[in-house]
């Protein structure tokens, strides 16, 4: 089924999970996955000829993909340089976290009011995060599972607009994490925070759910911003 016209989450874009059938969607998914996971680094020039040769495609579907990614703020068209991967800055990341605090805290509150028992069980099943320091495979699993929890939470609202907004914000949030900046992940602490959020949702306590999500995102912001500064961003 074609996904043309709606953003895809990083989880949906995982080539080991799903591959869109339409050529334009497949090219979009492939390039977006590389951008979000920093296989294509911030500021890197997009060499269209090389990508077309690698994927065995013409420039038309690639240009379509790049235009979609430009609308999402992931690539930028620069005069005389063509497309480049959008740069990564501390200021932009802080703005992103501000957006997440506003949107996801209210989404958590709505989830506490609207979640069905089935929603809550689905959310509870995604609380656990495991990460072994220095193990890249568990690091990537941590990032993907964390996003899956946040998506499961906003889906409890049954509001498609909110789901799309949170999905897009979460994807942009991944880029500094995939740079491997030594953000200081703590699987046990993050799991404990998730469990608290689930408890608030299960108890239909919107005020607590909102407060917990604000704290949760704020802690993540501090860790990543410190890592970005340390890396010279």
Q: What is the DSSP string of 34-48?
A: HHHTTSS-TT-B--H
Give the pLDDT score at 132: 78
The DSSP annotation for 135-150 comes to: -HHHHHHHHHHHHHHH
Task: Mark whether 45 and 153 lie in a shared domain.
Answer: no
Domain presence at residue 5: no
Task: Mark whether 76 and 103 lie in a shared domain.
Answer: no
Whether 4 shows a pLDDT value over 50: the answer reads no
pTM of the model: 0.86
Tell me which residue has tokens 């911003």.
Answer: 225
Here the CATH number for the domain that contains residue 126 is 1.20.120.530
Task: Mark whether 80 and 191 lie in a shared domain.
Answer: no
Task: Mark whether 62 and 94 lie in a shared domain.
Answer: no
pLDDT interval class at 141 (50, 70, 90)? confident
User: pLDDT tens digits, residue range 143-194?
Assistant: 889 999 999 999 999 999 999 999 999 999 989 988 876 556 677 888 999 9
User: pLDDT tens digits, residue range 86-107?
Assistant: 999 999 999 999 999 999 999 9
Task: Mark whether 80 and 101 lie in a shared domain.
Answer: no
The DSSP annotation for 52-65 comes to: HHHHT--HHHHHHH
Domain presence at residue 21: yes
Angle between helix 187-202 and 136-155 (nearest 10): 10
How would you classify residue 158: left for phi > 0, otherwise alpha for psi between -120 and 50, otherwise beta? left
Give the pLDDT score at 77: 93
Average pLDDT value for residue range 64-74: 94
Range of the domain at 47: 10-85
- The count of structural domains within the chain is 2
The SS3 assignment for 182 reads: coil
What does the mean pLDDT of the chain come to? 89
**Cβ-count burial 200-222 (b if 16+ within 10 Å, e if not):** bbbeebbebbbbbbbebbeebbe
């Amino acid at each position: 089924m074609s996904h043309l016209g709606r953003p895809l989450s990083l989880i949906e874009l995982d080539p080991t999970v799903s591959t869109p059938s339409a050529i334009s969607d497949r090219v979009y998914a492939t390039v977006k996955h590389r951008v979000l996971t920093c296989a294509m680094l911030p500021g890197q020039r997009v060499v269209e000829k090389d990508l077309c040769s690698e994927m065995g495609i013409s420039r038309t579907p690639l240009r379509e993909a790049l235009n979609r990614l430009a609308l999402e703020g992931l690539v930028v068209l620069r005069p005389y340089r063509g497309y480049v991967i959008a740069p990564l800055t501390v200021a932009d990341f802080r703005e992103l976290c501000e957006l997440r605090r506003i949107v996801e805290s209210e989404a958590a509150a709505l989830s506490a009011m609207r979640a069905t028992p089935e929603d809550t069980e689905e959310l509870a099943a995604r609380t656990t995060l495991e990460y072994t320091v220095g193990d890249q495979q568990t690091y990537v699993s941590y990032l993907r599972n964390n996003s899956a929890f946040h998506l499961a939470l906003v889906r409890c609202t049954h509001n498609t607009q909110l789901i799309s907004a949170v999905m897009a914000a979460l994807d942009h949030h991944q880029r500094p994490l995939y740079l491997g900046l030594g953000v200081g992940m703590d699987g046990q602490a993050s799991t404990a925070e998730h469990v608290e959020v689930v408890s608030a949702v299960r108890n239909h306590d919107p005020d607590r759910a909102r407060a917990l999500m604000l704290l949760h995102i704020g802690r993540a912001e501090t860790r990543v911003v410190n890592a970005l500064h340390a890396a010279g961003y």
